[in-house]
Amino acid sequence: MDIKFLKGVGEKRAEAFEKIGIKSLDDFINFIPRAYLKKIPVRQIPQNLSENTLVSGEIIDIRFPRKDNQPLEVTLYDKSGSVEIPIFGASEFRSKQFRLKENFLFWIKIDKENFSSKLKISYRDHIKINPSDALDAGFLKYSYIPIYELSGILKKTWIKPLLLSKIVFNAFSTLIKSDPEYIKETLPDEFLKEYGLISKKEAVLRINFPVEFSDIETARKRLAFEELFYLELILALKKKSTENEKKGITFNRNVADLTNEFKSILPFKLTSAQIRVMNEIYKDMRSDKCMNRLLQGDVGSGKTIVAVFSILVARENGYQSAFMCPTEILAEQHYRNISELLKPLGVNITLLVGAQKKKHREEILNDIRSGKSEIIIGTHALIQEKVEFKNLGFVVIDEQHKFGVMQRAKLKEKGLNPDVLVMTATPIPRTLSMTYYGDLDVSVIDELPANRIPVITALRKDTDKQKIYDFIRSQIKKGRQIYIIYPIIDESEKLDLKSAEENYLLLKNNIFREYKVGMVHGRILWYEKDEVMEDFKNKKLNILVSTTVIEVGIDIPNATVMIIEEAQRFGLSQLHQLRGRVGRGAEQSYCILVAKNLDEVSAKRLNILCETNDGFKIAEADMEIRGPGEFFGIRQSGALNFSCTDLSKDKQILETARNAAFRIIEEDFQLRKPEHIIIKNAFLKNFRNSLYLMEIA
Ligand code: ADP
Ligand code: MG
């Protein structure tokens, strides 16, 4: 049935509903309330709470305002008592809607009047109810009424919250009346039994119109399971189909000599976690399966060296490797460090970034095409059309969360099914990695090199500057170097840039004029950045003032102090990354978070950093505070726009749903078994469009 025939809808509103994706009655099945209001008898109106509630009854008195600033007052009677509801600013049209002896449902907010014991009742919304109408009576029977998101489009058609609730109620009543089995089951019977889930129909009806309060959570959990199960099913399908279809390269040359040689050039002993993940990667490389592996490890855990070894394995087998970084500074650093490390092996390494001189660039492109370049390190310049590889066999994407899906795919396309290693230092909460990277294999470095001393982190006020400066001086006297970070989250923010530059000049020419101070930010040219970074690395600068361009990857062990100005403007994981720039050597390092006008919430947030150095804990906390979508800035991708799932509390459900999905795809890839028909049908009906998710990662 077209929803315009639904009571309370009509032509105009039907159009508005269509714009938010509700075209037919069954679309209401996926329309989930965001809150509930409890209906209570008038007698039970709480005496001291600040609470939103519903009351219903008959109007027994109406008093119209005599002056403009007076409210319209209606008295509502419900057998248990009566209550006077003042309505301020009611138009004449509105006032006339209320008639004596008619029945209404009111949404009111009850507060205690300041400095007196008198109750204050504020009007929120109302809807007329006709108790002799079966639909209305049915609606009134529920003691919890759902409240839905009222998008702007709907508001424009004068739909108010209670009217929307009633429209949804009418929609469900109509659906059920036309066919009691209209809301089809989407999960196999065994699932419901095995995991203790209620049926789809029950869940949909109860999440919208709960009888008991506990119905809401029971229903939500069932719907969350479904949401997660089908998401994981997509990921399992994707993983299985890549495994089935695309044969990867088999890097099967013996690497015993290479391994020994590699060990001999390393200036340190590998941690056991590094060795473990190297083996995991190597195993994938030797098989004919196309590797898609995520290497996760906290800042400073030593991911680069793991990538370098894998690249050498590829080279040993005659293949080129590409190593893509999100910033020029980082590409440059990797280029320099890896060249230095691999000098004894005589490897041909090339740097490719955006702003290289044309002639030089032509040479580089030629070398990549001819295969003379064996390892190509660069920025997203690597994925430009003109870049052609001779035989790209291995791809590393560093700080992969900084890249978009398309960028990662493009680099991969430059080779013929190369093995892919994506690395991230942004610790991802386990629940998120299971959903977002669900089709990748994951390796984790869960151990820091032994020589590390945990960074000491403190939160300081803007007014403590003098002490901070003294501290900086004492560290410089010991020969250490300092980072000072200013918040330019978006490098096009001119105001922020201006203030950072002013601060830089003040530090350089005034406060620290006895020391060498340098600055980098995203708007200076790469070779200038490079020069400054080189100077800092070679200890020609004592202090480096920077924006977040040094957030990821930068590795200068002699720097021991990280000062972050206006720390409250950064996300927790970002702060953890920045902090990861220090504590990379054997000296005690410090991170000082400086905040202006700190409110309680920000203080609580920033204190998490002072309490722990564990990136995973920080990421979990960050996710709880900001929500999973925000966390990755992927809200727009739709991938994590759940309507019922709350990743911060549904870990258990996620794990169960994931295991179930992967198990089913493992045993019945085509979903042909009779017991899986229900899954196949639900998948094709509801999730076919979600196939775009296949694009992810
Ligand atoms: P990240 O995982 O953050 O990318 P890097 O790969 O940059 O970390 O390594 C951080 C620093 O630790 C580098 O200076 C690197 O040379 C050093 N490093 C890596 N592995 C070890 C190890 N096993 N022992 C000591 N130092 C190590
Ligand atoms: Mg790194």
Neighbours of ion ligand 2 (CB under 5 A): 553
Confidence grade of residue 636 (pLDDT, cut at 50, 70, 90):
very low
Structure tokens at 691: 């196939």
Q: Where do runs of H (alpha helix) occur along 55-197?
A: 92-95, 134-141, 152-155, 161-178, 189-195
Task: Report pLDDT for 374.
Answer: 97
**Pocket lining: 556 vs ligand 1, CB cutoff 6 Å:** no
Q: Whose CA is nearest to atom 23 of ligand 1?
A: 270
Cα 401 to Cα 574: distance, rounded to the nearest angstrom: 12
Confidence grade of residue 431 (pLDDT, cut at 50, 70, 90):
low
**Pocket lining: 426 vs ligand 1, CB cutoff 6 Å:** no
DSSP conformational letter for 24: B
Cα 118 to Cα 84: distance, rounded to the nearest angstrom: 13
Q: Which of 262, 263, 268, 342 for a ligand 1 pocket mutation test, highest count of atoms within 8 Å of Cβ?
A: 268
The residue-averaged pLDDT of 271-282 equals 96
**Pocket lining: 126 vs ligand 1, CB cutoff 6 Å:** no
- pLDDT higher than 70, residue 639: no
Task: Report pLDDT for 163.
Answer: 94
User: What is the whole-number distance in angstroms between the Cα of residue 676 and the centre of ligand 2?
Assistant: 44
Q: For ligand 1, what atom is nearest to the CA of residue 274?
A: 23
Q: Whose CA is nearest to atom 18 of ligand 1?
A: 302
Task: Say what the pTM is.
Answer: 0.69
The residue-averaged pLDDT of 162-191 equals 91
- pLDDT higher than 70, residue 476: yes
**Pocket lining: 293 vs ligand 1, CB cutoff 6 Å:** no
Q: Locate the DSSP E strands across 64-152.
A: 72-77, 82-87, 103-112, 119-129, 144-147
Domains 256-287+302-424 and 456-612 share a fold: yes
CB 246 within 8 A of CB 277: no
CA quadruple 248, 249, 253, 255: dihedral positive or negative?
A: negative
- pLDDT digits 0-9 by tens, 127-148: 999 999 999 999 999 999 999 9
Query: Looking up tokens 């009633």, which residue turns up?
Result: 166
The residue-averaged pLDDT of 81-97 equals 85
DSSP conformational letter for 549: G
**Pocket lining: 583 vs ligand 1, CB cutoff 6 Å:** no
* DSSP calls for 134-158: HHHHHHHH-SEEEE----HHHHTTT
Phi, psi angles (nearest 5°) of residue 679: -70, -45
- pLDDT digits 0-9 by tens, 591-623: 999 998 888 888 888 999 999 988 888 877 877
- pLDDT higher than 60, residue 632: no
- pLDDT higher than 80, residue 280: yes
User: What is the whole-number distance in angstroms between the Cα of residue 394 and the centre of ligand 2?
Assistant: 18
User: What is the whole-number distance in angstroms between the Cα of residue 605 and the centre of ligand 2?
Assistant: 25
**Pocket lining: 337 vs ligand 1, CB cutoff 6 Å:** no
- pLDDT higher than 50, residue 637: no
CA angle 440, 446, 448 (to 5 degrees): 135
**Pocket lining: 338 vs ligand 1, CB cutoff 6 Å:** no
HSE toward the beta carbon, residue 34, CA cutoff 13 A: 7
Domain 256-287+302-424 has CATH 3.40.50.300: yes
3-state secondary structure 414-453: CCCCCEEEEEECCCCCHHHHHHHCCCCEEEEECCCCCCCC
- pLDDT higher than 60, residue 181: yes
Q: Whose CA is nearest to atom 20 of ligand 1?
A: 302
Q: Which residue has the higher pLDDT, 46 or 415?
A: 415
**Pocket lining: 554 vs ligand 1, CB cutoff 6 Å:** no
Phi, psi angles (nearest 5°) of residue 490: -110, 120
Structure tokens at 17: 């509903």
**Pocket lining: 302 vs ligand 1, CB cutoff 6 Å:** yes
Q: Which residues pair with 377 in a beta bridge?
A: 323, 351
**Domain boundaries in the chain?**
3-195, 256-287+302-424, 456-612
Structure tokens at 108: 């009111």
- pLDDT higher than 80, residue 292: yes
Q: Which of 269, 294, 305, 396 for a ligand 1 pocket mutation test, highest count of atoms within 8 Å of Cβ?
A: 305
The ligand whose atoms approach the alpha carbon of 306 most closely is: 1
User: What is the whole-number distance in angstroms between the Cα of residue 555 and the centre of ligand 1?
Assistant: 8
What does CATH list as the number for 3-195?
2.40.50.140
Q: Which of 269, 272, 301 for a ligand 1 pocket mutation test, highest count of atoms within 8 Å of Cβ?
A: 301
HSE toward the beta carbon, residue 240, CA cutoff 13 A: 17
What's domain 456-612's superfamily in CATH?
P-loop containing nucleotide triphosphate hydrolases (3.40.50.300)
Cα 397 to Cα 411: distance, rounded to the nearest angstrom: 9
